[in-house]
Structure 1
Amino acid sequence: MKSDITIPPILPANPASVRPGVASAQVLKLLSPLDGLISPGQSAQAQVLSLKQGDASFQLLLKLTLDSGRQTNVQVSSLQPFALGTLLNVSQSSAGSLAISIQQALSSAAAPLSRLDLQQVPAGTLLQGKVLSTQVLAQTAAQPTVYRSLVSVLNSALSTRTLTLDSAQPLRVGSLLSAQVEDAHTLNFVPLSGRQDQLALAQQLAAQQSRQGSLQGLLNALQKLAPGGDLPAPLRASIDTLLAGLPTAPQLSSPDTLKTALLNSGAFLEANLLNGQTQTLTPDMKATLLRLIAQIMPGLPANPNFNPGIAASTQAQAMPTFVRNALGMLGQVSAKPQTGGFPLPSRTLHSGDGEDSLENLLKLAAAALSRLQSHQLSSLEQSGRSAEGNLLTTWQLEIPMRNAHDIVPLQVKFQREDPPEKETADSPETRTIKDQLWRVELAFDLTPLGPLHVQAQLIRGSLSGQLWAERVYTAELIASQLGHLRQRLSDAGLSVTDLDCHLGTPPQGGHTPLEQRWVDETA
Structure 2
Amino acid sequence: MTIAPIQGPLTPQVTLPVTPVRPVIPVTPPAAPSIEINSGQVRAQLIAKTAQEAAGRQGGLAPLVADLSQALRNPMLPAQVRSAAALVLAQARPADGRVSGADIAKALAQSGLFLEARLASEPRANPRGQDLKAELLVLRQALAAWLAGAPRAPVRTPGRAPPPPYRGAGASTQPAASPSLPSDAPLSAVGQRLLAETEGAVARQELLQIASMPAGADEPLETQLVTRWMFEMPFTTPQGAAVAQFEVGRDRRGTQEGEEPAWRVAFSLDIEPLGPIHARVSLRAAQMTVGLWAEREVGLDRLRQGQDLLAHALRQADLSAEIAIQAGSPPMRAPEAGRLVDQTS
TM-score normalised by length of structure 1: 0.50
Among candidates 191, 194, 200, match of residue 367 of structure 1: 200
Paired residues of 1:213 and 1:370 also in contact (CA < 8 A): yes
Q: Which structure has the greater CA radius of gyration?
A: 1
Distance 1:344 1:371 in 2: 15
Distance 1:382 1:478, change over 3 A: farther
Give the secondary-structure state (helix, strand or coil) at the position aligned to 1:239: helix
Paired residues of 1:420 and 1:433 also in contact (CA < 8 A): no
Distance 1:346 1:202 in 2: 28
Distance 1:223 1:350, change over 3 A: closer
User: Is 1:343 the counterpart of 2:172 in the alignment?
Assistant: yes
Once the two structures are TM-superposed, the CA of residue 371 in structure 1 deviates from its matched residue by 1.5
Distance 1:510 1:261 in 2: 28
Q: Which has the higher strand share?
A: 1
Q: What whole-Å deviation, never above 9, does each CA across 1:491-521 have from its counterpart, x for those lacking one?
A: 122111x21111111112159xxxxxxxxxx
Once the two structures are TM-superposed, the CA of residue 490 in structure 1 deviates from its matched residue by 1.3
Other-structure match for 1:51? none
Other-structure match for 1:191? 39
Once the two structures are TM-superposed, the CA of residue 252 in structure 1 deviates from its matched residue by 5.7
Once the two structures are TM-superposed, the CA of residue 294 in structure 1 deviates from its matched residue by 0.8
Among candidates 312, 323, 326, match of residue 499 of structure 1: 323
- What one-letter code is carried by the residue in structure 1 that aligns with 2:106? T
Distance 1:212 1:252, change over 3 A: farther
Structure 1 unaligned segments of length 5 or more: list them: 1-140, 148-168, 172-176, 178-189, 310-336, 423-431, 512-523
Q: Matched residue pairs, number?
A: 294
Distance 1:389 1:229, change over 3 A: closer
Map of 1:466-505 to 2, 5 A cutoff?
Answer: 466-496=291-321, 498-505=322-329
Q: What whole-Å deviation, never above 9, does each CA across 1:235-273 have from its counterpart, x for those lacking one?
A: 212222332342223586334433322211111111111
Among candidates 256, 265, 288, match of residue 440 of structure 1: 265
Among the aligned pairs, what percent are the same residue? 25
Q: Which has the higher helix share?
A: 2
Among candidates 210, 232, 236, match of residue 398 of structure 1: 232
Q: What whole-Å deviation, never above 9, does each CA across 1:413-449 have from its counterpart, x for those lacking one?
A: 1011235997xxxxxxxxx322211110011112110
Among candidates 444, 453, 457, match of residue 282 of structure 2: 457
Distance 1:251 1:257, change over 3 A: farther
User: Is 1:279 the counterpart of 2:123 in the alignment?
Assistant: no
Once the two structures are TM-superposed, the CA of residue 291 in structure 1 deviates from its matched residue by 0.5
Other-structure match for 2:339? none
Give the secondary-structure state (helix, strand or coil) at the position aligned to 1:262: helix
User: Is 1:229 the counterpart of 2:75 in the alignment?
Assistant: yes
Other-structure match for 1:76? none
- What one-letter code is carried by the residue in structure 1 that aligns with 2:212? S
Other-structure match for 1:378? 211
Other-structure match for 2:145? 298
Give the secondary-structure state (helix, strand or coil) at the position aligned to 2:112: coil
Give the secondary-structure state (helix, strand or coil) at the position aligned to 1:377: helix
Distance 2:49 2:196 in 1: 22
Map of 1:7-406 to 2, 5 A cutoff?
Answer: 145=31, 169-170=34-35, 191-192=39-40, 197=44, 199-225=45-71, 227-250=73-96, 253-276=99-122, 278-300=125-147, 302-304=149-151, 306=153, 337=166, 339-340=168-169, 342-343=171-172, 354=186, 357-380=190-213, 387-388=221-222, 391-404=225-238, 406=240
Distance 1:343 1:504 in 2: 13
Distance 1:240 1:499 in 2: 40
Distance 1:370 1:389 in 2: 25
Give the secondary-structure state (helix, strand or coil) at the position aligned to 1:230: coil
Distance 1:477 1:236, change over 3 A: closer
Give the secondary-structure state (helix, strand or coil) at the position aligned to 1:227: coil
Among candidates 292, 308, 332, match of residue 508 of structure 1: 332
Distance 1:419 1:338 in 2: 17
Distance 1:227 1:480 in 2: 39
Give the secondary-structure state (helix, strand or coil) at the position aligned to 1:454: strand
